[in-house]
Amino acid sequence: MPPRPTSRDVAERAGVSQATVSLVLRDRWHGRVSPARAVAVRAAARELGYRPNLAARSLRLGRTRTALVVVPALTNEFFARMHAGAARVAGEDDVGVVLYSSPAGIEAAPDPFVSAEATLDGVLASSMAAGALTALSGNGLPLVMLDSEPGGGAAATVNPDIATGMRLVTRHLLGLGHRRFAHIAADVDSWTFGVRARVLAGELAAVPDARLVATERAPIDVRGGLAAADRALAAPGGATALVCDDDMLAVGSCKAARRRGLRVPDDVSVTGFDDLTVATAVEPELTTVHLPAEELGAAGMRALLAALRGEPGGTTVLPVSLAVRASTAPAPTR
């Protein structure tokens, strides 16, 4: 890794003194530095990827440290719970939290703190690839990933046991006699949904008479689930179980089944993933994988605080469970 750029490097690039760099990047240049020089300093800082040594600045100024929490969407209950857990742990350690929803979802996230004076100490990001956080975590800023592929340059990764969750769902349905499955898959190219698809396929391949009769991808909302499930139920093979990547997809799948005159769970079983509030707000209540969203955020923030202390990271896997409710039943005999 190349050496971290310093304020001296910025000064040399901009052709000014280090004192001028300090004044500009602390926004104290007005009336003391010309606007042209201020522009040159900020441009040099951006070009070099310079960030102040925030840990040293915190000690010197006695200010509260700040963590940036990045999620793909603020409207998703899972991420709201995750943020609550992270904020609770941060508050216990006197760390401030800034919540940021990446406008590009799981794609590369632009840096919301475009000025070089940004007072961030670390980044906690969920359900993305570490490479998508380059602009936010560059130049040595500690990064902890949640519900994401281990490694990739992050200081630590904290994941719910997604593979076990899908295994629990599949074996539950197989135990009820289901052999014809359809996968209502999230139309998101990310590690967590890739794991679900691979485990589902592997579990069915291990049972001679079980098969996946359809895979339909959909945006993660009720309308997407409805459309995808309608296509899956129309596919040859007559699926008796719809395995959904998310509870909102499962709710849409239940609507699709009813619109086709099918009863859930008598004619078709439906399962979800996440155990959101909606899982027990609908009838029948959803059989779904319970993910410990709040503990995920809490464990991630603990890992980030450890990284800020210079402690080694790694991968932590949190246990999940299957909440069996009324949307699953023995396979129909037809």
* Spatial separation of the C-alpha atoms in residues 45 and 56, rounded to whole Å: 18
pLDDT at 111 over 60: no
Going by C-alpha positions, the residue among 331, 322, 320, 313 that lies closest to residue 150 is 313
pLDDT-derived band at 174 (thresholds 50, 70, 90) equals: very high
Global pTM value: 0.78
CA distance 287 to 92: 35
Q: State the helix-helix crossing angle for 35-48 and 7-14, rounded to 10 degrees.
A: 130
Residue type, 170: T
Query: Of 165, 136, 193, 155, which Cα lies nearest the Cα of 288?
Result: 165
Distance from first CA to last CA of the chain, Å, rounded?
62
Coil/strand/helix, residue 74: coil
Is pLDDT of 202 > 90?
A: yes
The sheet with strand 269-274 has its strands ordered as 211-218, 180-186, 241-244, 269-274, 287-290, 321-323
Give the mean pLDDT of the chain: 87
How far apart (Å, rounded) are the C-alpha atoms in residues 79 and 147?
A: 11
- Of 69-78, 239-248, 291-300, least confident by mean pLDDT is 69-78
- The residue with greater pLDDT, 128 or 255, is 255
Output the six-digit token pair for 305: 């605080």
Rounded to an integer, the average pLDDT of 76-95 is 91
Instruction: Work out the average pLDDT over 117-143.
Output: 71
At residue 161, φ and ψ (nearest 5 deg) are: -80, 75
CB 129 within 8 A of CB 149: yes
Asked if 143 contacts 123 with a C-beta cutoff of 8 angstroms, the reply is yes
pLDDT(45) > 70: yes
Question: Apex CA 135: angle with CA 25 and CA 220, to 5°?
Answer: 135
Q: Are the CB atoms for 5 and 116 separated by under 8 Å?
A: no
* The predicted structure's pLDDT at residue 46: 81
